Chain A
Amino acid sequence: QVQLQESGPRLVKPSETMSLTCTVSGGSITSSYWSWIRQSPGKGLEWIAHLYHNGVTKYNPSFESRVTISVDTSKIHFSLRMNSVTAADTAVYYCARHVWPPAGAFHIWGQGAEVTVSS
């Protein structure tokens, strides 16, 4: 059974770059779509970006100018990099695997990484 786990620094300074990694256990990134989603009290749940298992990506226009997602060659990690962070980026960040065959829904979620942007 596929499980996901987010990892990375939980405290990031304003204007710096936030980096998170999602590790896949019980499977690999060889099919389906994989997303980053965040949740904050002010904005609720927001989809950030997804990548297809072949590395093709799609971004939410609200984040596109400062976000990069990628999958590594091991096919068991994919990452999120967000630059120029501000306090508004304080949120719980989730990685998720989409339903397959594609139906635009997030089937498997990580437990979430609570990231605070503060000096």
Chain B
Amino acid sequence: EIVLTQSPGTLSLSPGERAILSCRASQSVTSGHVAWYQQKPGQAPRLLIYGASNRAPGIPDRFSGIGSGTDFTLTISRMEPEDFAVYYCQQQGGSPELTFGPGTKVDLK
């Protein structure tokens, strides 16, 4: 099983600041299929990034993803009020085929 670890657990920021979220895999994600999701209370996760660096339709360009192998990063260039949420990474590979990280909470400083 490919285990995903996300850091930090909580990130406290102000609007306008940059957010850098990390996702590390226990073994290489050879498919390159790493995705990032945003989840707000009471809502389903929303796909932000797939294939490590491709923005999903309708996602603002302040969200960007990069990475390969075992290290992946989601960057939010300038935090907007609506960006405070929990962010999950997810990968495809190994068994089980699809796994999620535990999440990073981005809250208001």
Residue numbers of A with Cβ under 8 A of B are: 35, 44-47, 50, 58, 60-62, 94, 99, 103-107, 109-112
Q: Taking the nearest CB of chain B, how far is it from the CB of A80, in angstroms?
A: 15
Residue numbers of B with Cβ under 8 A of A are: 31, 33, 35, 37, 43-47, 50-51, 54, 56, 88, 90-93, 95-100, 102-103
Contact B99 A104 (CB under 8 A): no
Residues of chain B within 8 A (CB-CB) of A44 are: 88, 100, 102-103
Contact for B45 among A35, A58, A109, CB less than 8 A: A109
Q: Taking the nearest CB of chain A, how far is it from the CB of B73, in angstroms?
A: 17
Contact B90 A105 (CB under 8 A): yes
Other A-B pairs, 11, CB within 8 Å; known A44-B103, A50-B97, A99-B56 = A44-B102, A45-B100, A60-B96, A99-B47, A103-B50, A104-B31, A104-B90, A104-B98, A105-B47, A106-B37, A106-B45
